[in-house]
Amino acid sequence: MKRETVIYREGVSGWDTLKDIPPGMRLLLGIDGSLTRALEFLGCGPVTVEILLPPSPETRLVYLCLPHLGPVVQALTRIPDPVSPEDREILLDPRPIGPALSKKRGPLVREGLTILQSSGSEHLSPEGQWKQAFLWSRVYDLVATPGPRLTIQEWFLPRLEDVLEGVRIP
Question: Has residue 60 got a pLDDT over 60?
Answer: yes
Q: Which residue has the higher pLDDT, 149 or 114?
A: 114
Pick the range with the lowest mean pLDDT from 26-30, 131-135, 142-146. Answer: 131-135
Per-domain residue ranges for the chain? 3-159
- Which pairing describes strands 70-78 and 108-119: parallel, antiparallel, or unpaired? unpaired
What pLDDT does residue 48 have? 93
Residue 5 has pLDDT above 70, yes or no: yes
Domain 3-159: top CATH class: alpha beta
| Span 135-148, pLDDT tens digits | 899 999 988 777 77
Under 8 Å between Cβ of 119 and 134: yes
Among the ranges given (61-65, 101-105, 162-166), the one the predictor scored with the smallest mean pLDDT: 101-105
Closest CA to 130 of 157, 162, 153: 157
**Mean per-residue pLDDT of the chain:** 84
CB proximity list for 38: less than 8 A, separation 6 or greater: 28, 31
Q: What is the pLDDT of residues 67-99, one digit of tens each?
A: 889 999 999 999 888 878 888 888 888 888 877
Q: Which residue has the higher pLDDT, 167 or 52?
A: 52
From 13-27, 122-136, 140-154, the region with the lowest mean pLDDT: 122-136
Convert 26-50 to b/e letters by CB count within 10 Å (16 or more is b): bebbeeeebbbeebbebbeeebbbe
